[in-house]
Structure formats: C-alpha cells, structure tokens
A and B are shown apart, each in its own frame.
Chain A
Amino acid sequence: MNLLFPQPIIAVIVPVIGAIIIRFLDEDNARGRHLTALVTIGIVFISVASMLPAVLAERLIDIRLVDFIDGLGIHFKIDALGMVFGLVSSSLWVFATVYSIGYMDHEHDQRNYFVFFVLSCSAAMGVAFAGNLFTLYIFYEYLAICTYPLVVHAGTRESVRAGIKYISYSLAGGALVLLSIFMIHDLVGTLVFTPGGILGAAGEEDMMLVRIIFILLMAGFGTKAAIMPLHSWLPGAMVAPTPVSALLHAVAIVKAGVFGISRVFFSLYGRDLLVDLNMINVLAVIICFTILVGSFMAIKQTVLKLRLAYSTIGQLGYITLGILLLSPAGVMGGLIHIINHAILKITLFFCAGMIITVTGKKNLDQLNGVGKQMPLTMLAFSIGALGLMGVMPIAGYISKYYILTGSLEAGMPVFAYVILGSTLLNAIYYLPIIVNAFFKEGEFEKKPGFEAPPTMLIPTLVLVVVSISAGLFANYTTIPFIETVLRTIF
C-alpha cells in the first residue's frame, strides 16, 4: 500500500460514504442532500486533480489493495491514460451535479436519484484508476448496476423496458470480459496493465487464442462503446433524466467503453502485437460502418435527445477509429476527442435538458423559433454543435484534424474520406436545429428574468467557455497532456 498517494482510494471510497449519508438523510432535506452531493463530488475532483502533477512528471503510482490469488486482486494504478478518463469524468461530474440540482428540482424521489448519482462516480473513478483487468471489470460491472436505477428513474413502462435492455446488454458485455479474464490469466499468468502489453509473452502457437481473446474483449467493451451491432441500448437509455443521459452518453459509460478499448490496446496487447494480429482492418471497417450508419440514423430522428444519442454513436466511432489507427497522430486525435467530445456533448445535453424543463418540448418540430425565448441556451447549443462539426476555434476541430492526419499517416486515406463525409452528415443533422431555432417563426416569446434556472444555465455557459478555450489554447492544455500518454505508448 502506497500511503503517499491515497487519492485513488479516496476517489473511490468517498462517494460511497456520501451515498450512504444521502440515503439516511430525510427525503425533504433537499439542502443537506445537495450539499453532501456537491462536497462529495468536489472531494473526488480535488483528489483526482491533485494527482495531475505526478502524472505529468511521468511517475507511475501503483497501489495494491487486496490480492486474492496471484495477479487477481484490486490494484490501483495511476498513469496518464487513466488520468485522461479520470480527470474528464470527475470534472464533468461536478458540472452535472450542479445541473442536477436545478433539473431534479420538481422530480419525484430525488433521494434515490442522488444516492445512485454519487455512487456511480465512485465506479467511474474505479474504472479510471484500475491497475489490472480484474479491477477494471469489477468496477465496470459496478458502474452498470449503479446506473441502472438512474436509467429507470422515471418509472414509466417505457423506461423500465429501456432499463432492461440497458442492463442486459451491459451484463452480457461484462460476461465476455470476465471470460477473457480467465483466458488471459491462464495464458500469461498476469492481468496487470503494463505499457507495451502483457500478451506479447504468449507464444506463437497461442496466436489463435490471443485472437479469440481480442474478439471477446472488443465485443465486451464495444457494447459500452456502442460499436454498431451492439449499440441498441444507447438510444433506448435516452429515457433517463437529462443530467444522467448527459453523463451516460457524453462522459461516464460510453467513455468507459472507449477507455476499456484503449486499455486493451495499449496496456494488454501493445502496438506490435496488434499489428501482428491482422484484425485492425476488420475492426476499422466495422467502425466506419458505425460512423456512417449512426450519422444517417441521427438525421432520421425527430426527438432532440435521440438525435444527440445517435450522434454520440458516430462520435464514439471517431475515437475508436483514431485509437486503432495506431499511428501517433491518430491515437492523439482519438484521445483528445475523448476530452473534446465529452465537453461538447455534455453541453448539448445540458441545453436539451434546459429546453425540456423550461418549455416541455422534446420533438424537433416543436422547437422552431426557440432561440427567441432561450437565446443563451441556443447559443450554447450552437457552439457545442459547431464544435462537434469541427469548426474552428471550438475544441472539436483539433481532434478531427489529428485523426485525419493520422489516417493519412497510417496510409489509409479511406478513413479520411469517411470522417470528412460524416462531418457533412454532422452538419446535416445539427444545422437544421440551429437554423430552425433562430430563423423560423414559432410560438415562443421573450420572457423577463432568467431564461432557465441559474443552476442549470451557469454550468452550461461555463462549459461553453471551457470548450472555446480548449480549442484556442490546445497547444498549452490538451495536446501536451495527451503527449504524456503517447510517450508511454510509442
């Protein structure tokens, strides 16, 4: 046990304590509940952020908590890759908590909501700082189970059905990961994440087995990363309250899948072995299919949140595509897109949530002229959407640029065409929303006072500022950060 760095343990334990406190507070004690949630998430964020200097100085921190048998145990390890996911999710969790306070104000059963909301943070932190595949798996399942009550929070028939779909997809994916855990342990005797990979130790004769494990892991983590045949839970899970779907679709769950894939790539397999496997191209074709079909499906959607959900499928495709290009620029782009997409997509969901709370309108055709009533909200929405399309100087263009150069660097210009083509599709499904909100006549009128509750509006506007500055000052923020990750890979 490394007592110098208790932060990952704090980040995992504190939310559990916070959740228990909230559970035993009174249902009517909203003030105490909000305070506890904020303090808890704040502590998590601070403890994660305090590890940043050590990570940037490239010190690897390893904490062995429990060892069941050799190699199987709860290990935490802080490296740059985990820090990407940890920092993104803990910081955005703070925003989502503030936003939740506003959003849940008139909802039923708030105590339950906050218990599980805080509890899932612990699971996400566990995923981020897991030091071996077994720990990653435990927290991965923990995350799925903790978020289930959030998905079905509305309690309607539709939400229960979506929840069952969500949990069965997640558990099925988890089962595949568990199966591969046994196989890997059997094959190489360890599960610890090591830069450069551990499966390289497997002999030439076990190559077939290594391939099978790869397929299992891709299917397992791919379920959460919404790779095309396994994406169906994601649009369904839209029935959750908006802050939850924002976290689900922008930050925690889908990114846990993508993060799992990058762990598999860079900490289990390693670059050379992946090239030897000859399976990257197949996966890349599936991803391209995912990107295109996801984008086309998004165009067809008539409900705002559904459109955002399908757009997530396409955007996750970019991340995976960037990672599996295995060229420095591609991986750089993929990892930066984890950050950029998280910031931009959560902004979009926050805007959608505000529109739903203030006007009660969910369908796109009801939103004509909403820019008149909620100008700031729609401004934030426009900036988020333009950022995802890749307009300078909002964050998204950097990652797209790197993935593009990455695909050319890897000698596969086809992927560059796919990305550019899907950028056009992005424009086709985002621009009409903006255009209709500002230029079409609707039944909306300007009202005095705040256009939305300040607890919802302020986090959104702060995120807009963040997304623009992440684009403008990328040379000093995201790019050096990701370069630290790249140094461990290449």
Chain B
Amino acid sequence: MTDILALETGNMIINSTLPLLVVVIPIIGSLIIGLVGLRSAQIRNILAPAIAGITLYLTVELFLTILKGYTIIYNLPPLGGVAMSFRIDLTGSVFALFTALIWFLATLVSIRYMFHEQNQTRYYVFLIMSLGGCLGVFLSGDFLTLFLFFELMTLAAYALVVHSQTGEALSAGANYLYLGLIGGLSLLTGIILLNTYTGSVAIAPMLQDIVPLGDLAAVIAVLMIIGFGVKAGMIPLHIWLPQAHPVAPSPASALLSGIMIKTGAYGIIRVSTMLYTPARGLAESDIWYYTENFGHTIIWIGIITMLLAALMAVLQNNAKTLLAYSSISQMGYILMGIGAAGYLGYDGPMGFGGFSYHIINHAFFKSGMFIFFGIIYARLHEKRLDHLGGLWRRFPFTFAAFAVCAAGITGIPGFNGYVSKTLLHHAIVYAYEHHYLWDLWLAEKLFMLTSGLTVCYIAKLFISIFFGPGSPGLDAKLETAYSGETWIERLVAISFIGIIGFLGLSSPLMLKSVIVPMASAFTYSEYYLNYLANTGVWYLQDLFGIVIALVLGGVFYIVFKRKDLFSFEPPSYLSVERSLYRPAIAFMNISFTRAGRFIDDNINLSYHIAPALLGRTSAGADHLDERIFSSFGIRIVRTTSGVWDILYYSWTSLIELIFSRIGQYLRIIFMMLFKFDYSARGDKRYQTVNISNIDFDLYILLIVIGSVLATSLLFLL
C-alpha cells in the first residue's frame, strides 16, 4: 500500500499521501454515512465499522512503515493563506494506531448500544467525523494544521455529547463547547504569536529561537498549555469534563475519555517536551533551564490534578461520572510524567517512557471500562452505583474484561498499568534526585497517596456493580430486559483482555522496540535512552511500591465504607465553576452591556433634546429682539426726531409682519423635513399634513434639497 503511494525523497524520509488518506477517508466517509443513512439503516450500520476498519488498516500500514525507521511527510498546497502539512514520526503513528483501533472497537459496540436510541445516523456521522479530526491532530506536521483538526474534533464531538438532547446533556454540552472554544482560541493566539515572532509553526525543537523572546516565551507557553489543558482536563480547566463525558452514549464516552482527552496530552507533549527543548545540535547548552522550570510547573499541575480528581472520584455515585473523574486523575499522572520529562531535560527519557506508556495503557483500560459499563447500561438503563449489584453472573465476559481493566488501572502486577505506573514512579523519584528539592519529595508521597485512592474508587465501582445486592427493581428489569451479550461484544471484550495482557506482560519488548524509538525523535541523551530500554519492572522495590498502594487503597475503602463517607457531598462553593467562572462571566457580561446601554440611552437623549434646545434658543433670541433691543431702539429714535418716529414705526411693523410670516413658513418646512410624515399604508396621516402623496413629495424634496444646496454652494464659494 505504502509502496504505491510513496515517493522516497531522501534518507529515511518518505513523501506519501497515506496520511492524507488516513484523515480524509473518515471525514468523507462520515458524509457518505449521512447520505446512506437517509435510505437504509442496515447498510449504514455496516458502513460505519467498515470505514473505521479501513482507517485502522491504513493506520497499521503507516505504523509499520514508520517502525522501520522512516518519517513520512506530506504537504498540501496552500489554501487561502493557510498551508497544511503532515509529518509523522513514531510518536504520532503510535497515537494514531491506538486511536484507530479503539475507535473501530467502539464503533462495533455502538451497533448494539445504539439499537434503541434515536438519531442514529447523526451519531454515526459525527462519530466517524471526529475520528478524522482526532487522527489529524496526531498526524499534523505543524501547529496550525494541528489546531484545525483539533477544532474539527471539538465541534464534531459536540454532537456526541448532546446526543440524548436532555436538558442535562445540553447544559453539559454548552460547557463543553464554550470551554473548548476558549481553549481553541487561546491555542490559536499562542500559535499566531509563535508564528509572528519566530516565523515558524513547525512541531520541532525550537527553544533556541523562543528563549530570546523574553516574557513572550512564557506567554506563548501558557496560552498553548491552556489550549491543550482544557481538552486534557487539567485542573482548574476540567469543569466540563465530568459533566460532558457521562452524558454521551457509552461508546462515545469511551472515545471522549480514552482518546480525545489524549489530544490534549499529545499537544502538551509536543509543546513541553518538543517545542520547548533545544535542537539536537545545542543539546549540551545551558538553555535547558527553561525546559526545567516549565517541567517543574507541569509536575505540580499534574500532582494537583491527579489528587483532587481522585478524591472527587471516590465521592461519586454515578458510575460514568466516577469514570470521568478517574480519567482526569489519570491525566494528572500523564501530566506529571510530562512535567518530569521536561524537568529532567536532556536526561528525561524515563519520564517520557512513563507518560507515553501510560497514555497507551489508559486509552485501553479507560475506554474498555466505559464500553463494558455501556454494555450493562444498554440493558438496564441504570447508572447509580447504589442501585446496581450482583451482575457478574449475568455478564460473564463483561465481568472478566472489566476486571482486567480494573486491574490495569489500579496497577496490579502483570497488567499494563503496573508497568507505566512503575515507570512514572521512577521518573518522579529521579526528578527528586535531580536537585533534591523538598517539594518533589512531597510530590512523590502524594503520588503514592493518589495510587491508594485510585485503588479505593476502582474497588468501590467494581464491587458495587458486580457484587453485593442490587436494588429490588433491578431483578425485575433483568427478567424482562435481559438479553445476553452479543458475539460482537464478547469479541470486543476478549480483544481488550488480550491487548491489556499483552501490554502488561511484554513490557521489555514494548520499551525496546516502540517506546525508545519514539523517544529518540526528541532531544534526549543516548545514555538514558539505552537505560530506559533496559529498565525492568520486576524488581522487589517496585513490587513493594504497588503493595503499599494496594494496602492504602484497601484501608481507605474499609474506612470510607465503615464511616459511610462515600456519599459525602462537597459544598458547592468549593467548585471552581460556581465560585470562579460563573461570577466572572456574569461580571463581564453585566459591565459591558451596561456600558453599551448607557451610551445608547445618552446618545438617543441628546438626539431628542437637540431640537428642543434649538427651539428654546430661538425663543430666547426672539425675546431679546422684541423686548429689549426694540424698546431700546425706540427710545433713541424718539429722542432724535418725530419724523423718524413715524418712519420707524411703519418700517418696524412691516419688518415684523414679514419676519413673522417667514418664520412661520420656515418652521413648517423644518418640521416637515424632520418629521417625514410618510406612511406606506396611506391612511389619515395624509390629511393632517397638507400634502397629498409622499412618493412625489420625496422626489420634490430631493430636487428642492439639491437645488438649495447647489445655489447655496454658488453663494458660499
């Protein structure tokens, strides 16, 4: 496939249209699904997985080509001032691979899940369209292209979030959309600033060009981190996530939480560990300090995110909200890894290994959990944990796969989460040993605490769904609505078990042949890359670390259960949304609209008052003229001559007569000019003003105004 499309242009760089195909097939395909869906639901249901499957196949091709050591590039011709380009290294292709794979599985599961839902065609159209956007993010060669696909994904996924069209879904969707747009704009601002001051938006190490910008470098970094952080659910920008992920249909939640959230992480990786690192030629220089500070900040954002979100997850009763908070918490792990990689700078491969492995793992176990919970939800329509229970008999495959996912997320040895959490733990320990800062020591302790909380909330979720008694209504529902798992769902469950087991057990292979080649595209030292490739995870102190987490989790679980703390509701003023965002928005809104209305009113008033003021002035002048000046004049004239007296009286009376008449006429004309007493309906108004028809009047007025203007010009100049 690649041989046909490819054109080898130099050593190890291939110019190929394959990435374009990978992105365009889902986007065009989604439109075709929409058209087909108007005619036949059956063909549509086959077409949607087929398109996802074709995309998956192409992504595998892409991955295999790049695994041989090639880099694929492709430039589109410029379009209205915006040139798009694709450039895929191993990191991008790995992201694209798991994205396409999970999307394909989720599309398969959707067929049964959506069976009784409304607007199925719309769902499939936007599901496949957002696949195109998401893949585009991972395959982009520059930040501008990345941004465009990022926005396409945001807008397309909106239709998935609000799919149920309930009030709850719409308000969650509004939060999703507005925060997404704020993030997008902030990202765009960063990109534009970057383009203006460095002349390049390529995704490449550029720290040597950015550092001379001074403060602006920090501004760009903050803007871009905010832009991606919204999508990644970074605290305090996460508020949309626990609202939006649960309301979507479960397969879509799986993709939102498992994959689309990763576009944010991917962006932060590209910014913090790529854009803000020096190029390979300058690897020994001292500008690494910038990356280090940057990384240090991100470590703490990550720690806060993972801890707070894990605490919130423990308190949830809605299974999908719990999973959404868990996603935020896991993103905290990833952010911490990214931060550690940045903090360690040139020696950062351990951080890189940790977060990239964890991203892959989290994609699988989190989307798995949403998908498997979706299988249950499609039958029972119950999300509340205290109403669920004892389901393991009814859904054996789902139970097994869910158990494997849970084991993955808690980090039980042998499953995938264990490997990545161990690597992340190594990374934070190395970060501490880098400069022996006390706050990183604390960070390591909080990391362990969060691992304990993770065990606690996953235990709560798992036990309350599959064991213990369910609510009384549940059994009745099971009797009527129960239909067994379909073979597609079983197949999906088995493939998840296989993948998670593979990722957990074959870590040396993964590290050597995938993770380390991924990292080698970044600016890292050879020594530490080799070190990462040979890192093992089956050592006693690593196992001991996970035992601590499990024990902590167990203790938490028992304490929370005994003291009945699981149903504790935190007060609303602690929510960032209520205490910060809403008041800020209200304040801005009110201040601007008040200002606008104030201006409106005052200007209007002055327009209305001006004629009245003119009238007053002329009356005043009239008074002055008639009373004061005339009597003064009369006195003078009387004293001078009697003849003049008579002449004066006749003269003034004449003048008065003429002027009063002229004044009257002028006033009438003036009023007509400004009144424009015209009515298209042609009723009484015509009789009150003594002109018959305004059509002709307007023509006459035009001529009059024109001639008056023309003649007056002649006089004036």
Residue of chain B at shortest CB distance from A395: B80
Given contacts A149-B680, A391-B151, A471-B80, contact A168 B674 (CB under 8 A): yes
**Of B148, B177, B193, B717, the contact of A431 (CB 8 Å cutoff):** B177
List of A residues within 8 angstroms of B597 by Cβ: 297
CB pair B680 A112 closer than 8 Å: yes
How far is it, in angstroms, between the C-alpha of A108 and the C-alpha of B681 when the chains are bound? 8
Proximity bits, A364-396, B CB within 8 Å = 1, else 0: 000000000000000000000000000111000
Given contacts A109-B681, A299-B589, A439-B170, contact A420 B196 (CB under 8 A): no
How far is it, in angstroms, between the C-alpha of A472 and the C-alpha of B78 when the chains are bound? 10
**Of B78, B162, B189, B592, the contact of A296 (CB 8 Å cutoff):** B592
How far is it, in angstroms, between the C-alpha of A152 and the C-alpha of B78 when the chains are bound? 47
CB pair A155 B679 closer than 8 Å: yes
- Judge whether A167 is part of the interface by a CB distance below 8 angstroms: yes
CB pair B676 A164 closer than 8 Å: yes
CB pair A428 B178 closer than 8 Å: yes
Minimum Cβ distance to chain B for residue A303 (Å): 16
List of A residues within 8 angstroms of B196 by Cβ: 405, 408-409
- Judge whether B596 is part of the interface by a CB distance below 8 angstroms: yes
How far is it, in angstroms, between the C-alpha of A397 and the C-alpha of B178 when the chains are bound? 19
Minimum Cβ distance to chain A for residue B676 (Å): 6
How far is it, in angstroms, between the C-alpha of A474 and the C-alpha of B81 when the chains are bound? 8
How far is it, in angstroms, between the C-alpha of A142 and the C-alpha of B701 when the chains are bound? 11
**Of B148, B174, B178, B185, the contact of A420 (CB 8 Å cutoff):** B185
CB within 8 Å of A: which B145-167 residues:
148, 151, 155, 162, 165
List of B residues within 8 angstroms of A432 by Cβ: 174
Proximity bits, A399-425, B CB within 8 Å = 1, else 0: 001101100110001001100110110
- Judge whether A50 is part of the interface by a CB distance below 8 angstroms: no
- Judge whether B595 is part of the interface by a CB distance below 8 angstroms: yes
Bin the interface of chain B by size: 35 or more
List of A residues within 8 angstroms of B78 by Cβ: 475
Given contacts A109-B681, A149-B678, A182-B716, contact A300 B188 (CB under 8 A): no
- Judge whether B714 is part of the interface by a CB distance below 8 angstroms: yes
Residue of chain A at shortest CB distance from B674: A168
Given contacts A297-B593, A300-B593, contact A109 B80 (CB under 8 A): no
How far is it, in angstroms, between the C-alpha of A420 and the C-alpha of B146 when the chains are bound? 18
Given contacts A109-B681, A165-B607, contact A420 B189 (CB under 8 A): yes
Minimum Cβ distance to chain B for residue A154 (Å): 7
CB pair B596 A293 closer than 8 Å: yes
CB pair B192 A228 closer than 8 Å: no
- Judge whether A68 is part of the interface by a CB distance below 8 angstroms: yes
Minimum Cβ distance to chain B for residue A309 (Å): 13
Minimum Cβ distance to chain B for residue A397 (Å): 7
- Judge whether A464 is part of the interface by a CB distance below 8 angstroms: no
- Judge whether A458 is part of the interface by a CB distance below 8 angstroms: no
CB within 8 Å of A: which B175-201 residues:
177-178, 181-182, 185, 188-189, 192-193, 196
- Judge whether B82 is part of the interface by a CB distance below 8 angstroms: yes
Proximity bits, A104-116, B CB within 8 Å = 1, else 0: 0000110011010
Main secondary structure of the interface of B (DSSP, over half): helix
CB pair A475 B80 closer than 8 Å: yes
- Judge whether B41 is part of the interface by a CB distance below 8 angstroms: no
- Judge whether A435 is part of the interface by a CB distance below 8 angstroms: yes
Q: Which residue of A72, A113, A391, A439 has the most chain B CB atoms within 10 A of its CB atom?
A: A439
- Judge whether A169 is part of the interface by a CB distance below 8 angstroms: yes
- Judge whether B32 is part of the interface by a CB distance below 8 angstroms: no
CB within 8 Å of A: which B670-704 residues:
674-676, 678-682, 694-695, 698, 701-702
CB pair B679 A479 closer than 8 Å: no
CB pair A155 B592 closer than 8 Å: no
- Judge whether A23 is part of the interface by a CB distance below 8 angstroms: yes
- Judge whether B600 is part of the interface by a CB distance below 8 angstroms: yes
Given contacts A296-B593, A398-B81, A472-B80, contact A168 B680 (CB under 8 A): no
Q: Which residue of B151, B596, B674, B705 has the most chain A CB atoms within 10 A of its CB atom?
A: B596
- Judge whether B604 is part of the interface by a CB distance below 8 angstroms: yes
Bin the interface of chain A by size: 35 or more
How far is it, in angstroms, between the C-alpha of A423 and the C-alpha of B716 when the chains are bound? 49
Residue of chain A at shortest CB distance from B710: A68
- Judge whether B599 is part of the interface by a CB distance below 8 angstroms: yes
How far is it, in angstroms, between the C-alpha of A154 and the C-alpha of B82 when the chains are bound? 46
**Of A296, A398, A417, A423, the contact of B80 (CB 8 Å cutoff):** A398
List of B residues within 8 angstroms of A138 by Cβ: 706
How far is it, in angstroms, between the C-alpha of A229 and the C-alpha of B597 when the chains are bound? 10
- Judge whether B603 is part of the interface by a CB distance below 8 angstroms: yes
CB pair B81 A401 closer than 8 Å: yes
How far is it, in angstroms, between the C-alpha of A420 and the C-alpha of B272 when the chains are bound? 24
- Judge whether B79 is part of the interface by a CB distance below 8 angstroms: yes
List of A residues within 8 angstroms of B80 by Cβ: 393, 397-398, 401, 471-475, 479
List of A residues within 8 angstroms of B596 by Cβ: 228, 293-294, 296-297
Proximity bits, A124-143, B CB within 8 Å = 1, else 0: 00000000000000100110
CB pair B717 A435 closer than 8 Å: no
CB pair B592 A408 closer than 8 Å: no
CB pair B165 A440 closer than 8 Å: yes
How far is it, in angstroms, between the C-alpha of A439 and the C-alpha of B160 when the chains are bound? 11
CB pair B680 A424 closer than 8 Å: no
CB pair B178 A296 closer than 8 Å: no
List of A residues within 8 angstroms of B717 by Cβ: 69, 72, 182, 185
CB pair A392 B182 closer than 8 Å: no
- Judge whether A259 is part of the interface by a CB distance below 8 angstroms: no
- Judge whether A328 is part of the interface by a CB distance below 8 angstroms: no
CB pair A408 B151 closer than 8 Å: no
How far is it, in angstroms, between the C-alpha of A292 and the C-alpha of B695 when the chains are bound? 41
How far is it, in angstroms, between the C-alpha of A435 and the C-alpha of B176 when the chains are bound? 13
Minimum Cβ distance to chain B for residue A252 (Å): 18
List of A residues within 8 angstroms of B710 by Cβ: 68
How far is it, in angstroms, between the C-alpha of A145 and the C-alpha of B593 when the chains are bound? 32
Minimum Cβ distance to chain A for residue B257 (Å): 22
- Judge whether B713 is part of the interface by a CB distance below 8 angstroms: yes
- Judge whether A153 is part of the interface by a CB distance below 8 angstroms: yes
CB pair A152 B680 closer than 8 Å: yes
**Of B173, B682, B713, the contact of A68 (CB 8 Å cutoff):** B713
List of B residues within 8 angstroms of A393 by Cβ: 79-80
How far is it, in angstroms, between the C-alpha of A310 and the C-alpha of B674 when the chains are bound? 26
CB pair A424 B182 closer than 8 Å: yes
List of A residues within 8 angstroms of B192 by Cβ: 404-405, 408, 416
Minimum Cβ distance to chain A for residue B717 (Å): 6
Minimum Cβ distance to chain A for residue B669 (Å): 14
Minimum Cβ distance to chain B for residue A151 (Å): 10
List of A residues within 8 angstroms of B193 by Cβ: 408, 413
Q: Sort A-B residue pairs by CB-CB distance and give the 4 closest, nearest first.
A: A296-B592, A474-B80, A155-B681, A293-B596
Interface residues in chain A, defined as those with a beta carbon under 8 Å from any beta carbon in chain B: 23, 68-69, 72, 108-109, 112-113, 115, 138, 141-142, 145, 148-149, 152-155, 160, 163-165, 167-169, 172, 182, 185, 228-230, 232, 292-294, 296-297, 299-300, 391-393, 397-398, 401-402, 404-405, 408-409, 413, 416-417, 420-421, 423-424, 427-428, 431-432, 435, 439-441, 471-475, 479
Listed by A's residue number, 23 A-B pairs whose Cβ atoms lie within 8 Å are A68-B710, A69-B713, A72-B717, A153-B680, A155-B680, A163-B676, A164-B675, A164-B676, A165-B607, A229-B603, A232-B604, A296-B593, A391-B151, A401-B82, A417-B189, A424-B181, A435-B170, A439-B165, A439-B170, A472-B79, A473-B80, A475-B80, A479-B81
